[in-house]
């Protein structure tokens, strides 16, 4: 059993009198049904306590519109025999339940026992995420679900999974089946299971397909479509093929609000020597290779938006210009994030 000063992440405010209270293992019916069901599953998994939903449950969950997005207030034992959660939204309810799981122990009768007190918290930033690389290191579907468990427990909202790189393409594909790595490829059933599991537990999967760099396997398997002089081509057939791959990813992850397009370490020096690339720059009145990359990114972004998703890319995509709706992740230091923030 933990004390308030051991909650992760450290909440904005907490106080208690040092005593512990015992409660019935029941939750009142409330509008956060998915979040409540997730809590009940994890209470069994982590604490070996069987919670049930009851009309007069010990845990009372209320939606509060007077507090900001993601914010919650958790009152433990302030009202005798009751735990009261006031949550702004589903993310806040998940976070409050996560705090309960971190604090919870059980007494000799198997009933939940928690420190008496109050916790008030909200995210420091809108993005709490974890990145896993499945392209260079094999992670089973079962292990990815354990990462979801960790995200759920530590209130991490986004699980970013890097699925593809030069060496491996770990996603199935009906449009281009040859590019998948047979010995290191997830099945459609496994991906659906991971996506559903994440959704049920308040975690959003962010799948990443890295383009136009880190695409060696794609080009080797389908050179007639994607390869122009050893680089991912910018001709219409290659762009349409890339859009088809992203469309498949949208279908595989229907609950993902974002799709990550990579965009890092694109072979711009090779584009300088490629006559096809230079002709594309000239034909579209582009200034340089960075703008050539953005020329394709804008089409991919429009395609993702059409499928109800937002685009994320690494900070290199800023160099040729991006839309205000794009999200930037900066892997080369803080300057990319600062530059993106200045651009809105």
> So which residues are the catalytic ones?
165, 214, 265
> Between β-strands 59-63 and 83-87, what pairing exists: parallel, antiparallel or unpaired?
parallel
Structure tokens at 279: 């002709």
Pairwise CA distance, residues 315 & 161, whole Å: 17
According to DSSP H, which parts of the chain are helical?
33-47, 90-103, 141-153, 188-200, 216-221, 223-226, 236-252, 268-273, 275-283, 289-306, 335-342
Burial label for 189, CB within 10 Å (0-12, 13-18, 19+), is exposed
Pairwise CA distance, residues 165 & 214, whole Å: 5
Q: Name the residue among 249, 254, 266, 258 with its Cα closest to residue 209.
A: 249
Q: At what angle are helices 236-252 and 188-200 packed, to 10 degrees?
A: 60
The string of DSSP codes covering 215-271 is: -HHHHHH-HHHHEETTEE--SHHHHHHHHHHHHHHHHH-TT-SEEE---TT--HHHH
Distances (CA, A) of 27 to 24, 83, 201: 9, 9, 17
Pairwise CA distance, residues 230 & 223, whole Å: 9
- Do residues 289 and 281 make contact, with C-beta atoms less than 8 angstroms apart? yes
| Exposure string for 51-69, b = 16+ CB within 10 A, e = fewer | beeeeebbbbbebeeebee
Pairwise CA distance, residues 266 & 130, whole Å: 24
């Amino acid at each position: 059993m933990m004390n308030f000063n051991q909650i992760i992440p450290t909440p904005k405010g907490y106080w208690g009198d040092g005593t512990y209270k015992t409660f019935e293992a029941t939750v009142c019916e409330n509008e956060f049904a998915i979040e409540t069901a997730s809590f009940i599953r994890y209470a069994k998994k982590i604490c070996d306590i069987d919670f049930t939903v009851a009309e007069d449950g010990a845990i009372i969950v209320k939606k509060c519109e007077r507090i900001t997005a993601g914010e919650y207030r958790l009152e433990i034992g302030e009202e005798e025999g009751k735990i009261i959660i006031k949550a702004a939204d589903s993310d806040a309810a998940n976070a409050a339940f996560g705090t309960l799981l971190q604090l919870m122990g059980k007494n000799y009768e198997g009933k939940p026992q928690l420190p008496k007190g109050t916790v008030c918290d909200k995210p420091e930033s809108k993005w709490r995420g974890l990145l896993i690389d499945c392209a260079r290191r094999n992670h089973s579907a079962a292990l990815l679900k354990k990462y979801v468990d960790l995200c759920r427990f530590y209130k991490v909202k986004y699980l970013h999974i890097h699925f593809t790189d030069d060496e491996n393409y770990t996603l199935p594909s009906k449009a281009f089946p040859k590019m998948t790595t047979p010995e290191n490829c997830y099945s459609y059933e496994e991906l659906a299971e991971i996506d559903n599991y994440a959704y049920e537990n308040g975690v959003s999967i962010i799948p990443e397909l890295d383009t136009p760099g880190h695409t060696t396997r794609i080009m080797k398997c389908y050179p007639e479509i994607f390869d122009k002089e050893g680089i991912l081509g910018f001709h219409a057939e290659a762009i349409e093929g890339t859009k088809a791959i992203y469309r498949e990813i949208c279908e595989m992850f229907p609950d993902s609000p974002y799709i990550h397009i990579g965009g890092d370490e694109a072979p711009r020096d090779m584009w300088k020597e490629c006559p096809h690339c230079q002709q594309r720059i000239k034909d579209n009145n582009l200034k340089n290779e960075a703008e050539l990359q953005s020329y394709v990114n804008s089409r991919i972004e429009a395609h993702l938006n059409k499928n109800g998703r937002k685009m994320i890319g690494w900070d290199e995509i800023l160099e040729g210009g991006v839309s205000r709706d794009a999200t930037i992740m900066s892997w080369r230091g803080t300057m990319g994030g600062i530059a993106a923030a200045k651009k809105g």
